[in-house]
Structure 1
Amino acid sequence: MHANRYQPAASRPASAGASLLVLAAVGFGATLVGPTIVPGLLPEPPIFVTNVPIDPPKPTPQPLPKKDAVVKQQTTPLPHQPTPIVKSNGAADPIGATPDFTETTMDPPGPVGPASGGTTVADPPKPPVMIGATVDPRYADALQPPYPNSEIRAQTEGKLVARVLVGVDGRVKAIEILRTPSKGLSEATRRHALSRWRFKPATRDGIPYEDWMTMTLSFKLVD
C-alpha cells in the first residue's frame, strides 16, 4: 500500500527571479508612459525673488561761475582839475577875420495868422421864433356867443374878459372868466367858447404848442 506524500512546489529561487522580471518590466513602462499621461501631477519649480537695489537720484548740478566775470572795483574820483592851456607856437591866428561886410537880404514877413492857442468865439444861439395864438379867420363870425333871454329881459350890457387855453389843434381846452357883467353872460360865453371857438395855435420855430390868450367880448342890446 502506497501512501501519497506531499510534493513541494517549484524551487523558490525560480519564482523569485520571475517576480523580479515582472517588476522590472512594469517600472520601465512607467518611465516611458508616466510623464506623458499625467503631466499635472509633477511639482512646479520654486520661484526665487531677488531684490535689485535702486540707485538714489543724482543731485542737480550747480552752475559753474563764469570765468570772464570781472569784479568792478570802486574808486574814489579825484577832485576836478582844469585842463592846462597849452600855448600854440603857430604864426597865424587859427580864427581868421575879414574886414568885408556882406549885407544879408531877408524875405518879407508872411501874413499874420490866428493867434496860437486862441479860441474861436461861436455865434450866440438865436432865440426861437415865437408866434402867439390868433383867431382863425374862418371862424371869426362864431366868436360872439348868443345873448341869453334872461339877460335881455334884465337889460344887461357890458364887456366880458376871458382867458382861454388854446391847444395844438386850435380848440379851447380851458377858459377863465376874468371880468363879466353878470353870471348869465359868463356861463353863456363858457359854453360857446368850448364848443365853437377855433384859433390858430401858437408856434415855437414853426412847431405848435399850447398857449394862453385873452379875449374881450362886448354885450350890447340893439333896438
Structure 2
Amino acid sequence: MYADRYHSTASRPAGAGAALLISGAMILGLYHAGPTIAPGVFADPPLVTKNIPVPKPPPPKPQPEEQQIEQRRTMTTPLPHVPDPVIDLAGKGALIEGTDLIGPATSEPPGPVGPAGGGVTLDPPRPPVMVAPSVDPKYADALQPPYPPAEIRRGTEGSVTARVLIGADGRVKAIDIVKSPSDGLSDATRRHALARWRFRPATRDGVPVEGWKTMTLRFQIVE
C-alpha cells in the first residue's frame, strides 16, 4: 500500500510537463499558421482622374430661303409712317345763326403725307353740313305778341328786334332785345317768346343743336 502511493505521487510532475510542452507546441503552430498582415494593407488607393470630353451641340438647322428673305425684309424695310388725319371741326355746342344753309367750306388740298416716294395721301375731311334754325309753320300764327293796352293808350308804335337762342327742342331758351321803341313792347315780346314761340332747331349733320335767330316784330295801331 505504501508502494502504490509513492508511484502515484511521482508521476504527477511528468504529466504536467508533458501537458505544458503540448500546449506550447500548439500555440507556436497557431502563431506560424496565422495570416501575416503586411504594412499598408488598409492605406487609401491613389486617386486616378480621367478627362472626358463634352460633345459640342449640333449646328442650327438652316432656315428655308423664303423665311430668310422675309426676316431680312422685316429687319431692313421700315413700314411707311402715316400720321393721323387732322379734322378741324367747330365745337359740339357751337351756335348757328341765320336761316340759310351753310355749305361746305373750301380749303387748300393737303400736302403729301408720309415719306417721299411711297407715302399715303388722305382726302381732306368733309366739313359738317349745318342748317340754321327756322320758323315752324305750325306755330307761325303765334309769333306776334299781343299789343299792350298801356302802349296803345300812349300811341307807341314801331318795330322790336330780338335775338333768340333756340334749343335743340325748338323752344326759346334766352332772348336779347336789340332794339325797341319802349320798355313795354320789349317786356311783351320777351314774355310771349319764352311762352309761345316754337322753331325748327338748327342741325349739324342732321343732329339738332342750339342756334341763334334774329326776329323783327312790327307793332302798329290800327284804327
Q: TM-score, normalised by structure 1?
A: 0.49
Q: Indicate the structure with greater helix content.
A: 2
Max radius of gyration: which structure? 1
Q: TM-score, normalised by structure 2?
A: 0.49
